[in-house]
Structure 1
Amino acid sequence: MPPRLRPATLGDAPALTALLNEIDTIEIGRPETDLHTVEADLKNPEFDLGRDSWLAFEGDRLVAYGLLWDDSGDERIDVDLYVLPDQQAAAEHVVGALEARALEKARENGAERAVVHLHLNVRPTLDTGLIQARGWEVVRRYHVLRRPLDPASDSVPQVPAGVRVRACATEADRETVHALYQASFADHFDFQPRGYGQWLNDIDADGLDWSTVWIAGTGDLGDAGFLLARDDREAMGWIRSLGVLREARGRGLGGFLLRHAFAAFAARGRTEVGLGVDTANTTGAPRLYGRNGMTVHYAVDTWEITLS
């Protein structure tokens, strides 16, 4: 008997959080999904949950979840898929729905094809043979890194000569961080340009403590780097993004901002901090994080399919 499918609603957030934490525990050894994170996705005004989300049930039991979003406004479409290990038949139904909607969405954008990306743990609860048989393949790998924190050793670092740093305190500062993000990540794999309002939705700006966002600059270049962190995850402090303009790289801004965030998290009583990084990043970010004591927590593969 095929699973029962229906769209998600905001009221499903607690059940979805429980499902994702059950999957977290299987894949990485502990639950790391927070209710507010799931709610932020479901409340994002850019999602049409009625057309772009799918819940699969075995009886009354929620067993799989799919979500589609379109950051590009063109052919590039992203999807999420979560499934319990004993529910691969449900996963196949959700994958089929995701693929069909991805192609429909890309064509609504005026594109002739859909290039779809799905991020999965390297040891996922999904049987990857299922998606390989449909034409999906791995195109990139990311690492989620983590580092222990100690207030005794993670003190506020000395500001390098010629560098200044400030917290993101005003609307103008937020606009600066957005501009720095767009410029510093423009050459990164899978980067999608986003307007200011779209970016605020992406980072769940209404739920963000902006005192954990910092801007660094130099006398000759002005504002040239930023770090955006979050202190609302139960599992650990989280660095969502760290960027430095190309012309400012090599001056120590990235390392300084990273250590500045470590000190801020340690002062708040955090014992661990994490972030995600593209293993093929060409800016030197993986080496920077390794030099500053960050180690691999788990790995995630980007799977891709082209539909036409």
Structure 2
Amino acid sequence: MTDASMLAGAFWVRPARMEDLEAVVRVQNAQEMADFGRLLSNGESLKRLWQGSKLDLQADTWVVGTPDGGIVSYASVRGRGQVRLFASVWLLPEYSGHGIGRYLLRRAEERAGSWVVEAPPGARVTMGASWIGERNQRAQRLLEHAGYEKIYSFAHMDLELDEPSAPLPVDGEIVIRAFSPGDDERAIYAADEECARDERGHVPETFEAWRQWHISDTTLLFVAWDGSEVAGLVSGSQGFIAHLGVRTRWRRRGLGMALLRHIQGEFARQGLRLMKLNVDTLSSTGACRLYERAGMHTRFCYHTFEKELRAGQDIRF
């Protein structure tokens, strides 16, 4: 077991193992119910993260347990080689107050600190903590005391799906069609990076990194084409909208709503009864207003906190 002398009580700490998957999901779900009133995590998504290339399970994760072997907390850190690093700490609510969250945050910071030299020279490097529930005042105070600032606030919105929505007309010769593997990737990448310039804190990605992260699942990826140009795109899975973007030239023409209604119809045809998404409440594109006009409602809010690990220049286009 890893040294846990900084923890009160008889807790042990070690890296997560694949056999811990169900126990860790239970920890995540317990905190989600306390913070958001609903379950958000599942074993499949966590398994993909643990088996993927973005996380070293042995070095980038920790679980905390009790003498009887039960796991009560889980933490991870990711972003090696990047300028924006992220830590996640999950804790069974009944174990708050034992210093576990503070201990794991410190361990994550130590690991992330060793990556700073791998970031581009001269670039500002930050450590973030996201999915901090508005209800979880203890976690917010812990982060503030550790030198973090609240930089983003997000709304989780949803809409009940009664039946497939009618497609909306769009200006000009724009056509919305499904993603075509092998043909569309480069054009979509360039368009998506342009859309993302308006996202606060966006850091440009290489084509390979973008392809691995954004189009690993293209089952429900739809692209709006204006002739040979990509005007916008929307993607999602299991009722969740992962991404919706419209390029600057095509904004204020109803394309965002048309893309939203298009994937809404696909979700309904799959027999799903709820469409969900997360949106930056201070988005400069007015995304919140778009979703409210579409009939979506905010169910809970959460925040992202950030701490500077190395001063420098923010990487932008």
Give the TM-score of the pair, scaled to structure 2.
Answer: 0.86
Q: Which residue type is aligned with residue 70 of structure 1?
A: G
CA distance in 2, matches of 1:84, 1:243: 36
CA distance in 2, matches of 1:254, 1:118: 29
2:252 aligns to what? 250
For the residue of structure 2 that corresponds to 1:46, the secondary structure is: coil
For the residue of structure 1 that corresponds to 2:94, the secondary structure is: coil
Q: CA deviation at 1:159?
A: 5.0
Q: What are the within-5 Å matches in structure 2 for residues 104-253 of structure 1? A: 104-109=114-119, 114-119=125-130, 120-124=132-136, 126-151=138-163, 154-158=165-169, 160-203=171-214, 205=216, 208=217, 210-219=218-227, 222-231=229-238, 237-253=239-255
Residues 32 and 116 of structure 1: is their aligned pair in 2 closer, same or farther, counting only changes over 3 Å?
same
Deviations 1:84-105 (A, max 9, x none): 2233421111011011112221
Q: Which residue type is aligned with residue 285 of structure 1?
A: A
CA distance in 2, matches of 1:136, 1:3: 26
2:79 aligns to what? 70
For the residue of structure 2 that corresponds to 1:31, the secondary structure is: coil
CA distance in 2, matches of 1:290, 1:240: 17
1:234 aligns to what? none
CA distance in 2, matches of 1:3, 1:199: 39
CA distance in 2, matches of 1:85, 1:50: 25
Deviations 1:250-277 (A, max 9, x none): 1221110000111111111111101111
Residues 144 and 111 of structure 1: is their aligned pair in 2 closer, same or farther, counting only changes over 3 Å?
farther
Equivalent residue in structure 2 for 1:35, among 32, 43, 53: 43
2:90 aligns to what? 82
2:297 aligns to what? 295
User: Percent same amino acid at aligned positions?
Assistant: 25
The answer for unaligned runs of 5 or more in structure 2 is 1-8, 311-317
Q: CA deviation at 1:114?
A: 4.0
CA contact (8 A) 1:83 1:125 kept: no
Q: CA deviation at 1:141?
A: 0.5
When structure 1 is superposed on structure 2, of 188-197 and 252-261 the one drifting more is: 188-197
For the residue of structure 1 that corresponds to 2:291, the secondary structure is: helix
CA contact (8 A) 2:60 2:111 kept: yes
For the residue of structure 2 that corresponds to 1:86, the secondary structure is: helix
Please provide the CA RMSD for this pair.
Answer: 2.2
Q: CA deviation at 1:125?
A: 7.8
Q: CA deviation at 1:186?
A: 2.1
For the residue of structure 2 that corresponds to 1:127, the secondary structure is: helix
1:12 aligns to what? 20
1:98 aligns to what? 108
Q: Which residue type is aligned with residue 76 of structure 2?
A: L
Give the TM-score of the pair, scaled to structure 1.
Answer: 0.88
Q: CA deviation at 1:110?
A: 5.7
Q: CA deviation at 1:302?
A: 0.9
